[in-house]
Amino acid sequence: MSAASLEGGPASLDRIRRYLVGLKMPRALEALEHILRRIERGEISALEAIDALLGEELTLREGRRVKAALKMGRLLTVKTLAGFDFSFQPSLDRDRIMALAELDFVDRHEVLHFLGQPGCGKTHLALALGVEAVKTGRSVYFSTLADIVSSLAKAEREGSLRERLRFLCRPQLLIVDEIGYLPVIPGGGNLFFQLVNARYERGAMILTSNRGFSEWGDVFGGTVVATALLDRLLHHAVVVQIEGASYRLRRHAELMPENTRARSISPSAPPPARRRGRPPKEREANQDSNP
Protein backbone atom coordinates (compact mmCIF):
# COMPACT_ATOMS: atom_id res chain seq x y z
CA MET A 1 0.00 0.00 0.00
CA SER A 2 1.40 3.43 -0.88
CA ALA A 3 0.97 6.66 1.04
CA ALA A 4 -1.28 7.92 -1.75
CA SER A 5 -3.84 5.21 -0.90
CA LEU A 6 -4.83 7.00 2.29
CA GLU A 7 -8.33 8.45 2.42
CA GLY A 8 -8.47 11.47 0.12
CA GLY A 9 -6.26 9.96 -2.57
CA PRO A 10 -3.49 11.44 -4.68
CA ALA A 11 -5.29 14.75 -5.21
CA SER A 12 -5.40 15.49 -1.50
CA LEU A 13 -1.77 14.48 -1.12
CA ASP A 14 -0.74 16.79 -3.97
CA ARG A 15 -2.61 19.67 -2.36
CA ILE A 16 -0.86 19.03 0.97
CA ARG A 17 2.48 19.15 -0.83
CA ARG A 18 1.58 22.43 -2.50
CA TYR A 19 0.46 23.86 0.83
CA LEU A 20 3.76 22.91 2.43
CA VAL A 21 5.67 24.49 -0.44
CA GLY A 22 3.53 27.64 -0.26
CA LEU A 23 4.01 27.86 3.49
CA LYS A 24 7.77 27.38 3.03
CA MET A 25 7.93 24.25 5.15
CA PRO A 26 10.70 22.23 3.44
CA ARG A 27 11.42 19.89 6.34
CA ALA A 28 7.74 19.01 6.75
CA LEU A 29 7.54 18.34 3.00
CA GLU A 30 10.58 16.10 3.21
CA ALA A 31 9.16 14.15 6.18
CA LEU A 32 5.63 13.82 4.77
CA GLU A 33 6.04 10.44 3.02
CA HIS A 34 7.70 8.84 6.02
CA ILE A 35 4.97 10.07 8.39
CA LEU A 36 2.22 8.85 6.05
CA ARG A 37 3.79 5.39 5.98
CA ARG A 38 3.78 5.34 9.77
CA ILE A 39 0.05 6.15 9.72
CA GLU A 40 -0.59 3.26 7.29
CA ARG A 41 1.29 0.85 9.52
CA GLY A 42 -0.80 1.99 12.48
CA GLU A 43 2.22 3.28 14.37
CA ILE A 44 0.79 6.76 14.96
CA SER A 45 -2.62 8.43 14.91
CA ALA A 46 -3.58 11.34 12.68
CA LEU A 47 -3.09 13.75 15.58
CA GLU A 48 0.36 12.36 16.31
CA ALA A 49 1.19 12.67 12.61
CA ILE A 50 0.35 16.37 12.62
CA ASP A 51 2.43 16.79 15.76
CA ALA A 52 5.40 15.00 14.15
CA LEU A 53 5.11 16.97 10.92
CA LEU A 54 5.05 20.34 12.66
CA GLY A 55 7.77 19.26 15.07
CA GLU A 56 10.11 18.43 12.19
CA GLU A 57 9.59 21.88 10.68
CA LEU A 58 9.99 23.67 14.00
CA THR A 59 13.26 21.84 14.69
CA LEU A 60 14.64 22.95 11.34
CA ARG A 61 13.60 26.57 11.85
CA GLU A 62 14.95 26.65 15.40
CA GLY A 63 18.26 25.30 14.16
CA ARG A 64 18.42 28.03 11.54
CA ARG A 65 17.52 30.69 14.10
CA VAL A 66 20.24 29.56 16.48
CA LYS A 67 22.81 29.39 13.68
CA ALA A 68 21.95 32.91 12.51
CA ALA A 69 21.98 34.28 16.07
CA LEU A 70 25.36 32.69 16.77
CA LYS A 71 26.78 34.26 13.63
CA MET A 72 25.26 37.66 14.40
CA GLY A 73 26.64 37.49 17.94
CA ARG A 74 30.11 36.53 16.65
CA LEU A 75 29.94 33.21 18.51
CA LEU A 76 31.71 31.53 15.62
CA THR A 77 33.48 28.95 17.80
CA VAL A 78 30.67 26.97 19.39
CA LYS A 79 31.55 25.64 22.83
CA THR A 80 29.28 23.70 25.16
CA LEU A 81 29.22 22.95 28.86
CA ALA A 82 29.02 19.26 27.99
CA GLY A 83 32.36 19.61 26.25
CA PHE A 84 34.10 21.22 29.23
CA ASP A 85 36.46 18.96 31.21
CA PHE A 86 35.55 19.75 34.80
CA SER A 87 37.82 16.95 36.01
CA PHE A 88 40.84 18.92 34.76
CA GLN A 89 39.81 21.98 36.77
CA PRO A 90 38.87 20.66 40.25
CA SER A 91 38.78 24.22 41.62
CA LEU A 92 35.57 24.77 39.67
CA ASP A 93 32.25 23.89 41.26
CA ARG A 94 30.40 22.13 38.44
CA ASP A 95 27.03 22.64 40.12
CA ARG A 96 27.69 26.36 40.36
CA ILE A 97 28.49 26.60 36.65
CA MET A 98 25.40 24.60 35.72
CA ALA A 99 23.34 26.94 37.90
CA LEU A 100 24.77 29.88 35.96
CA ALA A 101 23.61 28.13 32.79
CA GLU A 102 20.04 28.76 33.91
CA LEU A 103 20.89 32.38 32.98
CA ASP A 104 19.23 34.09 35.92
CA PHE A 105 22.24 36.43 36.03
CA VAL A 106 21.33 37.62 32.52
CA ASP A 107 17.79 38.48 33.58
CA ARG A 108 19.15 40.29 36.65
CA HIS A 109 21.59 42.32 34.49
CA GLU A 110 24.57 41.08 36.49
CA VAL A 111 28.24 40.83 35.52
CA LEU A 112 29.92 37.43 35.55
CA HIS A 113 33.72 37.42 35.87
CA PHE A 114 35.88 34.43 34.93
CA LEU A 115 39.42 34.88 36.28
CA GLY A 116 42.36 32.57 35.70
CA GLN A 117 45.61 32.10 33.86
CA PRO A 118 45.61 31.56 30.07
CA GLY A 119 44.24 28.22 28.92
CA CYS A 120 42.27 27.36 32.06
CA GLY A 121 38.87 27.43 30.33
CA LYS A 122 37.59 30.98 30.85
CA THR A 123 36.72 31.60 27.20
CA HIS A 124 35.22 28.11 26.82
CA LEU A 125 32.83 28.72 29.71
CA ALA A 126 31.96 32.22 28.50
CA LEU A 127 31.18 30.94 25.01
CA ALA A 128 29.21 27.98 26.35
CA LEU A 129 27.01 30.25 28.44
CA GLY A 130 26.59 32.50 25.42
CA VAL A 131 25.42 29.54 23.35
CA GLU A 132 22.93 28.59 26.08
CA ALA A 133 21.61 32.16 26.04
CA VAL A 134 21.15 32.08 22.26
CA LYS A 135 19.27 28.79 22.47
CA THR A 136 16.79 30.35 24.86
CA GLY A 137 16.17 33.28 22.54
CA ARG A 138 18.34 35.85 24.32
CA SER A 139 20.51 38.16 22.24
CA VAL A 140 24.28 37.80 22.67
CA TYR A 141 27.39 39.57 21.35
CA PHE A 142 30.96 38.30 21.79
CA SER A 143 34.18 40.25 21.32
CA THR A 144 37.65 40.66 22.73
CA LEU A 145 38.40 43.78 24.75
CA ALA A 146 40.91 44.89 22.11
CA ASP A 147 38.31 44.69 19.33
CA ILE A 148 35.67 46.51 21.37
CA VAL A 149 38.01 49.36 22.29
CA SER A 150 39.27 49.58 18.71
CA SER A 151 35.71 49.81 17.38
CA LEU A 152 34.83 52.50 19.94
CA ALA A 153 37.94 54.51 19.08
CA LYS A 154 37.12 54.29 15.37
CA ALA A 155 33.55 55.40 16.04
CA GLU A 156 34.78 58.32 18.11
CA ARG A 157 37.05 59.48 15.28
CA GLU A 158 34.17 59.22 12.82
CA GLY A 159 31.69 61.00 15.07
CA SER A 160 29.49 57.93 15.56
CA LEU A 161 30.44 56.91 19.11
CA ARG A 162 26.89 57.26 20.41
CA GLU A 163 25.58 54.91 17.71
CA ARG A 164 28.32 52.36 18.44
CA LEU A 165 27.58 52.45 22.15
CA ARG A 166 23.89 52.01 21.40
CA PHE A 167 24.72 48.98 19.21
CA LEU A 168 26.79 47.37 21.98
CA CYS A 169 24.01 47.99 24.50
CA ARG A 170 21.38 46.13 22.49
CA PRO A 171 22.39 42.53 23.31
CA GLN A 172 20.97 41.14 26.51
CA LEU A 173 24.37 39.53 27.15
CA LEU A 174 27.70 41.10 26.13
CA ILE A 175 30.77 38.86 26.42
CA VAL A 176 34.14 40.64 26.63
CA ASP A 177 37.09 38.27 26.33
CA GLU A 178 40.82 38.66 27.00
CA ILE A 179 40.90 41.50 29.49
CA GLY A 180 44.52 41.97 30.57
CA TYR A 181 46.34 40.18 27.78
CA LEU A 182 47.38 43.54 26.32
CA PRO A 183 47.14 47.08 27.69
CA VAL A 184 44.41 49.07 26.00
CA ILE A 185 45.24 51.90 23.61
CA PRO A 186 45.54 55.45 25.02
CA GLY A 187 42.06 56.67 25.89
CA GLY A 188 40.67 53.16 25.54
CA GLY A 189 39.92 52.87 29.24
CA ASN A 190 37.63 55.89 29.12
CA LEU A 191 35.87 54.53 26.04
CA PHE A 192 35.32 51.14 27.69
CA PHE A 193 34.04 52.90 30.80
CA GLN A 194 31.41 54.66 28.71
CA LEU A 195 30.21 51.28 27.45
CA VAL A 196 30.19 49.73 30.92
CA ASN A 197 28.38 52.75 32.32
CA ALA A 198 25.79 52.61 29.53
CA ARG A 199 25.08 48.93 30.24
CA TYR A 200 25.21 49.28 34.03
CA GLU A 201 22.04 47.73 35.51
CA ARG A 202 20.59 47.52 32.00
CA GLY A 203 22.35 44.53 30.45
CA ALA A 204 24.36 41.52 31.59
CA MET A 205 28.02 40.94 30.81
CA ILE A 206 30.54 38.12 30.99
CA LEU A 207 34.17 39.22 31.35
CA THR A 208 37.23 36.98 31.16
CA SER A 209 40.60 38.12 32.49
CA ASN A 210 44.00 36.71 33.31
CA ARG A 211 44.71 39.62 35.66
CA GLY A 212 43.62 40.23 39.24
CA PHE A 213 41.43 43.26 39.85
CA SER A 214 44.31 45.09 41.55
CA GLU A 215 46.19 44.96 38.24
CA TRP A 216 43.47 46.56 36.14
CA GLY A 217 45.09 49.95 36.53
CA ASP A 218 47.98 48.64 34.41
CA VAL A 219 45.55 47.26 31.84
CA PHE A 220 43.42 50.38 31.46
CA GLY A 221 46.14 53.01 31.79
CA GLY A 222 45.39 54.33 35.24
CA THR A 223 43.90 53.51 38.63
CA VAL A 224 41.19 56.18 38.31
CA VAL A 225 39.63 54.58 35.24
CA ALA A 226 40.11 51.07 36.65
CA THR A 227 38.42 52.07 39.92
CA ALA A 228 35.47 53.59 38.07
CA LEU A 229 35.13 50.44 35.95
CA LEU A 230 35.28 48.08 38.91
CA ASP A 231 32.83 50.25 40.85
CA ARG A 232 30.18 49.24 38.31
CA LEU A 233 31.46 45.83 37.27
CA LEU A 234 31.57 44.50 40.83
CA HIS A 235 28.36 46.05 42.15
CA HIS A 236 26.09 43.29 40.81
CA ALA A 237 28.67 40.61 40.11
CA VAL A 238 29.49 36.93 40.26
CA VAL A 239 33.22 36.14 40.39
CA VAL A 240 34.46 32.69 39.39
CA GLN A 241 38.13 32.06 40.08
CA ILE A 242 39.73 29.19 38.12
CA GLU A 243 42.93 28.12 39.83
CA GLY A 244 43.95 25.25 37.58
CA ALA A 245 46.68 25.08 34.96
CA SER A 246 46.37 25.53 31.21
CA TYR A 247 44.32 22.82 29.54
CA ARG A 248 46.00 23.47 26.20
CA LEU A 249 49.48 22.92 27.68
CA ARG A 250 48.60 19.88 29.80
CA ARG A 251 50.63 17.52 27.57
CA HIS A 252 53.66 19.78 27.51
CA ALA A 253 53.80 20.96 31.11
CA GLU A 254 57.33 19.64 31.50
CA LEU A 255 58.51 22.18 28.92
CA MET A 256 57.19 25.15 30.91
CA PRO A 257 59.34 27.01 33.46
CA GLU A 258 58.76 25.65 36.96
CA ASN A 259 57.46 28.96 38.31
CA THR A 260 54.70 29.17 35.68
CA ARG A 261 53.37 25.60 35.79
CA ALA A 262 51.08 25.98 38.76
CA ARG A 263 50.81 29.75 38.79
CA SER A 264 47.34 31.10 39.33
CA ILE A 265 45.91 34.52 39.97
CA SER A 266 43.75 35.67 42.83
CA PRO A 267 41.18 38.43 42.48
CA SER A 268 42.11 41.26 44.79
CA ALA A 269 39.55 43.17 46.77
CA PRO A 270 38.01 45.91 44.67
CA PRO A 271 39.26 49.45 45.20
CA PRO A 272 37.07 51.90 47.11
CA ALA A 273 33.99 52.95 45.17
CA ARG A 274 34.05 56.38 43.56
CA ARG A 275 31.18 58.64 42.68
CA ARG A 276 29.04 57.83 39.65
CA GLY A 277 29.68 59.48 36.32
CA ARG A 278 32.46 59.70 33.81
CA PRO A 279 35.91 59.03 35.30
CA PRO A 280 38.41 61.87 35.45
CA LYS A 281 40.76 62.21 32.51
CA GLU A 282 44.25 60.79 32.80
CA ARG A 283 45.65 64.30 33.44
CA GLU A 284 43.67 64.33 36.68
CA ALA A 285 44.84 60.82 37.51
CA ASN A 286 48.45 61.95 37.13
CA GLN A 287 47.79 64.90 39.42
CA ASP A 288 46.37 62.52 42.02
CA SER A 289 49.55 60.45 41.93
CA ASN A 290 51.88 63.47 42.38
CA PRO A 291 51.81 65.13 45.83
DSSP state of 4: G
- The mean pLDDT value of the chain amounts to 86
Q: How confident is the model at residue 169 (pLDDT cuts 50, 70, 90)?
A: very high
Q: How confident is the model at residue 247 (pLDDT cuts 50, 70, 90)?
A: low
Helical residues (DSSP H) of the chain, grouped into ranges = 9-22, 26-40, 46-72, 94-100, 104-107, 122-135, 145-157, 161-169, 188-199, 216-220, 223-233, 258-261, 282-289
Please say if the pLDDT value at position 255 is more than 80.
no
pLDDT of residue 80: 94
pLDDT of residue 281: 52
pLDDT of residue 21: 95
Sheet holding 204-209, edge to edge: 140-144, 173-179, 204-209, 111-115, 237-241
Domains of the chain: 9-72 (no CATH), 86-280 (3.40.50.300)
Please say if the pLDDT value at position 127 is more than 70.
yes
Q: Which amino acid appears at position 73 of this protein? A: G
Interatomic CA distance for residues 118 and 285, integer angstroms: 30
Do the Cβ atoms of 57 and 25 come closer than 8 Å? yes
CB-based contacts of 202, cutoff 8 Å, min separation 6? 109, 169
Interatomic CA distance for residues 23 and 29, integer angstroms: 10
Please say if the pLDDT value at position 28 is more than 60.
yes
Query: Model-level pTM greater than 0.85?
Result: no
Quote the percentage of the chain above a pLDDT of 90. 73
Q: Which amino acid appears at position 270 of this protein? A: P
Q: How confident is the model at residue 238 (pLDDT cuts 50, 70, 90)?
A: very high
Across the range 146-154, mean pLDDT stands at: 98
Choose among 167, 130, 172, 136: nearest CA to 152: 167
